[in-house]
Amino acid sequence: MRGHAARPGAGGGAPDRCAGGGRQCRRDACPVGGRGAGAGRGAGRRWGAVNGDEVLIAVCLVLVAVSATVAVAVREPARQALVLSVLGLALAALFTVLQAPDVALSQLAVGSALTPLLILLSVRKVRRRGRRTGEDEEAGR
């Protein structure tokens, strides 16, 4: 850990201009290297204090978990494709909150749009073939 990076100024306990950010700071609360609010991960926070980003991440994780569980629990393939699309949206939101916009955009394109569309088209084609096969068997009797 680096030491206090303040420029020489008024001595004693008076605040100096810090070289780390150009703002006023005290040696014990220097964001560059002191033991104050900027030193270390989570320094200056109380136990139990919750950040707004942490709440957003938790909400997105819950949405992902719920939508993934529903996608597994649903038995009808067409509904599974729709729930899979919602899961893709929840994952894209999670990736956005986690500051990965490129991954979020590709998740939106592939996971939320393309994959459910392909599943729906496949289900539609399989159902059509099933109807044709059933009609052919009835006509052949």
Residues 107-138: tens digit of each pLDDT: 999 999 999 999 999 999 998 888 777 666 66
Q: Is residue 43 predicted with pLDDT exceeding 90?
A: no
Other beta carbons within 10 Å of 53: 11
Rounded distance between C-alpha atoms, residue 127 and residue 119, angstroms: 12
Residue 141 has pLDDT above 70, yes or no: no
Predicted pLDDT of residue 22 = 55
Please state the φ and ψ torsions of residue 99, each to the nearest 5 degrees.
60, 45
User: How many of the other CB atoms lie within 10 Å of CB of 4?
Assistant: 19
Average pLDDT over residues 39-44: 55
Identify the band that residue 31 occupies on the pLDDT scale cut at 50, 70 and 90. low
**Confidence at residue 75, expressed as pLDDT on a 0 to 100 scale:** 93
Q: Domain residues of the chain, as ranges?
A: 1-41, 52-140
Return the pLDDT at 1. 44
- Provide the greatest CA pair distance for the chain: 105
Q: What is the predicted pLDDT for the residue at 56? A: 93
C-alpha 27: how far from chain center = 37
pTM: 0.59
What is the mean pLDDT of the segment spanning 81-94? 95
Residue whose structure tokens are 């729709």: 82
Question: Which tokens hold the place of 20?
Answer: 């780390």
Q: What is the mean pLDDT of residues 19-24?
A: 56
Task: Decide if 108 contacts 88 (C-beta within 8 A).
Answer: yes
When the pLDDT of each residue in the chain is averaged and rounded to a whole number, the result is 78
SS3 content of the chain, % helix, strand, coil (to 5): 60, 5, 35
Residues with Cβ < 8 Å from 4, sequence gap 6 or more?
18, 27, 30, 32, 33, 34
- The two counts, helices (H) then strands (E), for the chain are 4, 2
Least confidently predicted of 35-44, 77-86, 107-116: 35-44
The percent of residues above 90 in pLDDT, for the chain, comes to 49
